[in-house]
Structure 1
Amino acid sequence: MTDETLPLSSDPLHGSEEIRAYFGDVYPRVLAFAELLADQGVTRGLIGPREVSRLWERHILNSAALAPFLPSGVVADVGSGAGLPGMVLAAMDPARDYILIEPMERRTQWLFEAARDCGIENVRIVRGRAEEVAESVEADVVTARAVASIDKLVKWCSPLLSAQGRMVLLKGRSAPDELERAKYTLRKHRFTGEVHEAPTLPGVEPTTVVVLSRSGS
């Protein structure tokens, strides 16, 4: 822990009744992951030192906000990195299979350890870039957070998707403009896009979610 790093206990949402109620029965798995990320995330280069004291709002809830937008089927989280959003979503939904795709060896090692230590058994970790693993991965949903622009994600990730697959992406406030810039790529790959504001807890800024669906699905 660096001098700039505040402990997870300084996060006002940590252990709160609101967080416990939001996650319900899956809270223990999500908590285990949050605590592991707070403990090791800075030293392993996964999150910045100032992120620990706001981990629940900025990272855990931000990831969890995708859950209502996921259709049924296998989820592939591209550029999973610290496990955001893939590990959080897998912890919330133990009956569904998740594939966490990450090109960096040290981050795939972290994902293996986090899944093992937190008892998150419904994940498969694949090392590689999205465009490199299409022959070994097929998913019904692709998720991504802070990986690339929408047009690049569509080009890289379309080969991973089943015929009626959907992409559910965490984006910022500029999402509508980014979607507009990607319109030709979306048309080429037969996607239509929508921007949603996804609330979690009162007082927490809603998450911006972009949903890309196959035209006609």
Structure 2
Amino acid sequence: MSNVSKSEAMMSRWRQQLASGLAELGLALDAETQARLLAFLGLLAKWNGAYNLTAVRNPDEMVSRQLLDSLSIAPYVTADAVLDVGSGGGLPGIPLAIVFPQRRFTLLDSNSKKTRFLTQCKLELGLDNLVVIHGRAEDCQPDQRYAQVTSRAFTALANLINWCGPLLADDGEFLAMKGQFPEDEVSALPAGWRVMQHQSLAVPGCSGERHLLTLARQSPGAAS
């Protein structure tokens, strides 16, 4: 089979996997949006060899472990402006930006190679609602703090709060994506913070546990 035929066959599999997975997640996306998601996945696969953007190398796992995993938190993304910290290869920030063109997403990462990739994705996919920042969370000084901050396997919850708490609006919330429920990390939360809710995520095609933890500042006088 020629390289062109292999590429076409892979894209056909991706298209089928995405359509099936979106149906399982209950996400109704038009054909153009699905095509942009697959175009992003193609860029991720192309750049991954040189830039080491993600550990997922098997093409048959990319739709589930990258696109569908990112989109599993879509129902919980409600803010007009969202910060994705430690965005790496753009997960979950870019899939969410594609699905929610009416919301603004800022992707922050300290690795210059990764932010170059993110900037290329913004240009090639025409993501006008996307801002890419190269730098550390501790050094970021936004004009306005964010109502929601997402992270996907970025760091321990305590670090997330200590590094990114100043970037979160007073009444904002962290959406922290984890594998197994992190009991030890929850027990080590800094004073003044709490888990508002935690949700088990079912990601089509993915084995193993997935959890979403929503963290917020403790209301004065509230029970710990």
TM-score of the superposed pair, with normalisation by structure 2:
0.82
Ranges in structure 2 where 5+ consecutive residues have no aligned partner? 1-5
Q: 1:134 aligns with which of 141, 154, 161?
A: 141
Partners of 2:78 and 2:217 lie apart in 1 by: 13
Ranges in structure 1 where 5+ consecutive residues have no aligned partner? 1-5
Divergent runs of 4+, >6 A: none
Partner residue, 1:157:
164
- Measured on the aligned residues, the alpha-carbon RMSD in Å equals 2.6
Partner residue, 1:14:
14
Q: Partner letter of residue 166 of structure 2?
A: P
Structure (1 or 2) with the larger CA radius of gyration: 2
Check the 8 A contact 1:7/1:52 in 2, yes or no: no
Check the 8 A contact 1:99/1:124 in 2, yes or no: yes
Change (3 A) 1:62 1:212: same
Partners of 1:172 and 1:49 lie apart in 2 by: 15
Alpha-carbon displacement from aligned partner over 1:7-55 (angstroms, at most 9, x marks no partner): 7955996111414654512212211111111222222211236343311
Q: Partner letter of residue 197 of structure 1?
A: S
Matches within 5 A, 1:84-103: 84-103=91-110
TM-score of the superposed pair, with normalisation by structure 1:
0.84
Q: 1:122 aligns with which of 129, 135, 141?
A: 129
Aligned sequence identity (%):
28
Partners of 1:13 and 1:46 lie apart in 2 by: 22
Matches within 5 A, 1:21-60: 21=23, 22=27, 24-25=29-30, 26-48=33-55, 50-60=57-67
- SS state of the match for residue 51, structure 2? coil
1:112 is the counterpart of 2:115: no
Shift of 1:175: 2.1
Partner residue, 1:68:
75
Partners of 2:178 and 2:49 lie apart in 1 by: 23
Shift of 1:107: 1.1
